[in-house]
Amino acid sequence: MTKGKLSDRQREMLDFISKFTQEKGYPPTIRQIGEAVDISSTSVVNYNLNKLEKGGYIARDLKVSRGVRVMDSGNHKLPKLGDLISVPVAGYIFASEPVLVGDTPQTATDEVIELTRDLVEDSADLYALRVKGDSMIDAMVSDGDIVVMKKVDRARNGEMVAVWLNDRNETTLKHFYLENGRVRLQPANPTMQPIMIEDPGTVEIQGKVMLVLRQLI
C-alpha cells in the first residue's frame, strides 16, 4: 500500500490522529476518529484503521486503550508504544465552590489516558481527573479539561491540589496556601473569593496537579 492508494477518508483519519496526538499528548479513541471523519460505525472505522496499519501508516495495539500510533514520517519521531505510560481516569474534580461528595458521580471509570514519558518527570502514583467548573481558568484549567495528578498528602504553598474537606465531606481543586495557622484555598478566577479554613486538620491533600490536558473545542 502506498500513499497514492489512500482514500480521501483514510487521509483524513491519518491527519486527525497525528494532529490530535501532537496537540493532546495521547491518541484519540475509535469513536473520536469516527466523529472527526463523519463515520458513525465503529466497524467501518476499524476497517479503515486496519487498511492504514497494513500499509504501514499506523501501528495498533488492541490490548491498549487508544492504542493507535502514526508511524514516523521522517519529519519527526513519534513515540513508540513502550515510551508511553497509562494513567487511569479516576473520576471528577470540582474547580468551583467545594462540592459535597456524592452530589455528582465521581466513581472510577475504566478509561485511561496515555502519555509520553517526557511529559511527566515521575510516572509513579499518577491518576487523572476530569475538571468541572471554572474557578481555575486563570491557571489555564477550564471546565472539561483533564488534570493529571500525583498522589501526595502534603503540598507546598502555591501548588494546585485536589483537597478533601473532611469536616464537610466536600472536595475541590484550588491553589494551596498555609498562612499563620490557617489554610487558604485560592481560586484562579478574579470573580471568586478564596476559601479560608481555620483548622488545617480538616484539609486533606489527595494529589497535586502535574499536567493539564486541554479540552479542544
pLDDT digits (tens, 9 = 90+) for 20-59: 888 877 788 888 898 999 988 888 888 888 888 888 888 8
Active site residue 174: yes
Whether 49 and 156 share a structural domain: no
Q: Is the pLDDT of residue 76 over 50?
A: no
Q: Are 160 and 175 in contact (CB under 8 A)?
A: yes
Whether 154 and 184 share a structural domain: yes
Q: Which of 18, 96, 150, 174 is catalytic?
A: 174
Whether 72 and 147 share a structural domain: no
Secondary element (H or E) of residue 100: strand 99-100
Whether 59 and 97 share a structural domain: no
Domain of residue 171, residue span: 84-213
Residue 94 pLDDT = 85
Q: Is the pLDDT of residue 71 over 80?
A: no
Mean pLDDT of 82-101: 74
Name the domain boundary from 78, 112, 144.
78
Q: Decide: residue 51, CB within 10 A, 0-12 exposed, 13-18 middle, 19+ buried.
A: middle
Whether 92 and 38 share a structural domain: no
Q: Which of 135, 142, 151, 208 is catalytic?
A: 135
Name the domain boundary from 57, 78, 99.
78
Greater confidence (62 vs 154) lies with: 154
Greater confidence (194 vs 78) lies with: 194
Whether 114 and 188 share a structural domain: yes
Give the domain CATH number at 23: 1.10.10.10
Active site residue 51: no
Over the chain, what is the mean pLDDT? 81
Whether 135 and 43 share a structural domain: no
Q: Are 174 and 189 in contact (CB under 8 A)?
A: no
Whether 125 and 22 share a structural domain: no
Classify the phi-psi angles of 197: left when phi > 0, otherwise alpha if psi is within -120 to 50, otherwise beta.
beta
Whether 136 and 192 share a structural domain: yes
- Produce one character per residue of 55-78: b if its CB has 16 or more CB atoms within 10 Å, e if not: bebbbbeeeebbbbbbeeeeeeeb
Name the domain boundary from 78, 108, 130.
78
Whether 101 and 208 share a structural domain: yes
Whether 127 and 209 share a structural domain: yes
Domain count, the chain: 2
pLDDT band of 65, cuts 50, 70, 90: low
CA angle 118, 16, 14 (to 5 degrees): 95
Phi, psi at 61, each rounded to 5°: -130, 105
Chain segment 101-147, per-residue pLDDT in tens: 544 434 445 677 777 776 776 778 899 999 999 999 999 898 988 89
